Structure 1
């Protein structure tokens, strides 16, 4: 299955049997992000958390309180 990264528009290939490929086929709202962009966003998020100015906003559901 051919996929396109939503951040950098890089075209990649996923095996047709992969769970991510099935998710993308069956639920069009889900998007694909390449591993380079995923790593970059993860690093930047961790850097923002380390500054102390980043607050995780969670809902008020009871299941979130246990988290």
Structure 2
């Protein structure tokens, strides 16, 4: 299966038997991000968390509030 990264527009080839390929085929809202872009976002997010200037808002399901 041929896929394209949503960030860098790089094209990759996925094996048709992979769970990710099945997810992308059956649920069109899911998007593909290449490994390089995923790692870059992961590192930058961890750096923001470590800086202390990043506040993660999580939804409280008990009180239905943020």
1:39 lines up with 2:33 in the alignment = no
1:19 lines up with 2:19 in the alignment = yes
* TM-score w.r.t. length of structure 2: 0.91
SS of the counterpart of 2:60? coil
Per-residue CA deviations over 1:15-65 (Å, capped at 9, x if unaligned) read 000000000000000000000000000000001001101111111113xxx
Unaligned runs of 5+ in 2: none
Match of 2:48 in 1: 48
Match of 1:28 in 2: 28
Q: Distance in 1 between matches of 2:48 and 2:57?
A: 14
- Choose between structure 1 and 2: higher helix proportion: 1
Unaligned runs of 5+ in 1: 63-67
* TM-score w.r.t. length of structure 1: 0.90
